[in-house]
């Protein structure tokens, strides 16, 4: 085990430093600056002012004088040899523990933020959506439907409209709902149907072309009605708005 260390000695009277040999003894440090007589610092008078972080030189002070040693292992020697005064000096072994604590704290913080982001936003969406008046949902749904129809023209075939109206009458009569459902068919190769807030349903002609029986279309429309009555679209819009607000606030 090393007990002799090479460092820089500053007398506090000039800005110059001198190379010095530092010997760790049970009661203090023997310091021998180059070209000067050796002297002794008792541990009682020594204060550590630097060297608490990885890569940082160790600096010990005694009044206006100071010793700087760049080898962090010097701290381990102090811990080992200054048994009655080791609390005065930083223990480099705690750096690994501190790094682990920081890593755990960081992971925990990320988990908490993620939980708030995921569950908090979902809870907010569910709570707020339940209080949104149907009239507001209808205005929102109509606005979205109009924007879709502007890009994809409506299908105006009477046979399609008649078939959909008959299906919707059966479905509406079978399920009590405060919503007034309105189905629009737009010309698009998209194979899909969209449930909008307030009762609007958009069906793309690509879906109708793949539908062979009225029962198949009825199943699709019944599914979209469920989305509306459970306010799925309204909740999604609120959750998306909440997420954007959180990101903006961050």
For 34, residues 6+ apart whose C-beta sits below 8 A from its C-beta are 18, 19, 20
What gap in Å lies between CA 24 and CA 81, rounded to an integer?
7
| 138 and 226 part of one domain | yes
21/86 same-domain check: yes
Q: Please name which of 176, 93, 181 lies closest in space to residue 137, comparing C-alpha atoms.
A: 181
The residue segments making up the domain with residue 210 are: 133-230
Residues in the chain: 250
Tell me, what CATH number does 65's domain have? 2.30.29.30
Question: Could you tell me if residue 162 is inside a domain?
Answer: yes
Q: Are residues 16 and 67 in the same domain?
A: yes
Predicted model pTM: 0.48
The distance from CA 219 to its chain's CA centroid, rounded to whole angstroms, is 40
Q: Contact at 8 Å (CB) between 86 and 75?
A: no
Q: What is the domain-level CATH number for residue 195?
A: 3.30.2010.10
**How high is the pLDDT of residue 249?**
47
More confident residue, 134 or 202: 202
What is the pLDDT, as a whole number, of residue 234? 78
What pLDDT score was predicted for residue 108?
61
116 located within any domain: no
What digits encode the pLDDT tens for the residues 155-206? 877 788 888 888 888 887 766 788 889 999 998 888 888 889 888 999 998 8
Dihedral through CA 82, CA 84, CA 89, CA 91, nearest 10? 80
Query: CA nearest 3: which of 71, 63, 66?
Result: 71
Please give the residue that has the higher pLDDT: either 86 or 248. 86
Residue 238 maps to a domain: no
Query: How many domains does the structure of the chain reveal?
Result: 2
**CA distance linking residue 56 with residue 74, whole number of Å:** 12
- List, for residues 93-131, the tens digit of each pLDDT value: 665 555 555 566 666 655 555 554 555 545 555 556 566
**Does 17 share its domain with 86?**
yes
pLDDT in tens, 12-66: 887 788 999 999 888 899 999 999 999 999 999 999 888 887 778 889 999 989 9
């Amino acid at each position: 085990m090393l007990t002799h260390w090479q460092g820089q000695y500053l007398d506090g009277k000039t800005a110059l430093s001198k190379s010095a040999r530092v010997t760790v003894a049970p009661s203090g440090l023997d310091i021998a600056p180059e070209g000067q007589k050796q002297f002794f610092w008792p541990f009682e008078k020594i204060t550590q002012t630097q060297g608490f972080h990885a890569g940082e030189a160790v600096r010990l002070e005694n009044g206006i004088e100071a010793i700087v040693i760049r080898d962090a292992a010097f701290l381990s020697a102090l811990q080992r040899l200054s048994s009655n005064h080791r609390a005065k000096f930083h223990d480099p072994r705690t750096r690994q523990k501190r790094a682990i604590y920081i890593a755990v704290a960081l992971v925990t913080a990320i988990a908490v933020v993620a939980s708030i982001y995921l569950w908090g936003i979902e809870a907010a969406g569910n709570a707020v959506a339940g209080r949104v008046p149907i009239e507001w949902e209808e205005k929102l749904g109509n606005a979205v439907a109009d924007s879709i129809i502007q890009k994809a023209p409506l299908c105006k075939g009477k046979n399609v409209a008649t078939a959909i109206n008959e299906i919707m009458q059966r479905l509406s009569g079978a399920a009590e709902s405060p919503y007034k459902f309105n189905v629009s068919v737009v010309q698009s190769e998209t194979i899909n149907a969209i449930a909008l807030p307030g009762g609007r349903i958009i069906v793309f002609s690509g879906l109708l072309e793949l539908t062979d029986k009225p029962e198949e279309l009825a199943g699709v429309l019944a599914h979209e009605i469920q989305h509306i009555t459970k306010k799925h679209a309204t909740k999604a819009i609120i959750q998306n708005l909440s997420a954007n607000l959180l990101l903006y606030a961050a």
